[in-house]
Amino acid sequence: MTTKQLIKRARRFTAPFRVDDGRRFRLRKVDPGDTLDLGSADKPRAKEALALGVEALAELQDKLYAQDRWAVLLMFQAMDAAGKDGTIKHVMSGVNPQGCQVVSFKSPSAEDLDHDYLWRCIKSVPERGKIGIFNRSYYEEVLVVRVHPEFLEGQKLPPELVTKRIWDERFQDIRHFERYLSRNGVVVRKFFLHVSRAEQKRRFLERLETPEKNWKFSANDVKERVFWRDYMRVYEDAIRETATKDAPWYVVPADNKWFTRLVVAAAIVETLDSLDLEYPRVDKEKRRQLEATRRALLREKG
C-alpha cells in the first residue's frame, strides 16, 4: 500500500471523531467502545494498518524536519488509565528522536505558579521542523482546576480577576493562543482519549492485580473517580469552546487500545500530509558544488 492510499484510508477513521466546530458537540454521542465497523477479529488487520501508518509517519516527519518550515503540536488529554502513554509510545515509535519532543505536564511547580498559566507550555512549543507532544497541557486549567476550584487559590491571582467569567475568559485565551500558533506555522491537533468509567475500573484492577503494573497505580487516581460526572461536563465544555478548524479536537474512543492507536496515527499522518511537505530543492550552483566535491572524493587515494 502506498502512502497516498494509506492517507485516503486514514480519513475513514478520523472523520467520525474530528470536532472542528464545537457548537453542536455532545460527549455522550461518542461511544468509548466504538470501533466503527471493525470487530475483535479485525485486530490483526488494524495492527498491520498501524504499522503502515508508523512507516508513513516516519517518512513525513523526515520531510518536516528537512523542510524546517512547519512545526506540529499534538496535545493529549484523558482521564487516568485511558492509554495516553501507550498511544504516544506506539504511534510515534518510528519517528526520529531528533525531530520529536515529548513533554509531560504534571502539577505546576512553585516557579510555574509565579507565572501565567500558559507560561510553562509556551516554553515547550516545538520549533520549526519538529513534532511536539504535550502529555496533558494548559487544558488542565479548564479541566482539573475547574473540578477543583480550590487550586485557583494556589495560583496567586489578584482576587478581582477571579470572577464568574474566569472560565469563559480562559477559553477565549486558549482560542486566541491556538490561533496565534497556527498563524505562525505551528499546526495544532488535540486528542481526547475517551475511556468509559467501567473500562477505567477494569484497568485500575489490572494494575493492582499485576505486579509488573503496580508502579502505574496511584490511589489518587481512584479518588478522582468520585468526580467522574464533573470531569465529563468540563471536558465537553472545553471541547465545545475550543474546537476550531485551526485547532480541532479528535474525541477518540479509548476502550479498545488497538483502535485508539489506529485513529490517532491516521489523524497525525493525515495532518502531516496536508502540509505538502517535500525535501528542500538544490539550486544549480549548489549542485555544481556537490558535483565538484564528489569528484574530489573520487580522486582521493585509499
Least confident of 76-80, 106-110, 160-164, 287-291: 287-291
Question: What is the arrangement of strands in the sheet containing 100-104, beginning at the earlier edge strand?
Answer: 18-19, 249-253, 186-194, 71-78, 131-135, 100-104
Residue 15 corresponds to which cell in the numbers above? 472523520
Amino acid at 128: R
**Domains assigned to the chain:** 3-299 (3.40.50.300)
Q: Does residue 164 have a pLDDT over 60?
A: yes
pLDDT tens per residue across span 250-275: 999 999 999 999 999 999 999 999 99
Q: Does residue 148 have a pLDDT over 60?
A: yes
Q: What is the DSSP string of 236-249?
A: HHHHHHH--SSS-E
42 CB burial (10 A radius; 0-12, 13-18, 19+): middle
Q: Does residue 58 have a pLDDT over 80?
A: yes
What average pLDDT does range 102-130 have in this prediction? 96
pLDDT tens per residue across span 175-216: 999 999 999 999 999 999 999 999 999 999 999 988 888 887
Q: Does residue 123 have a pLDDT over 70?
A: yes
Q: In the structure, what pLDDT confidence band is assigned to residue 1 with cuts at 50, 70 and 90?
A: very low
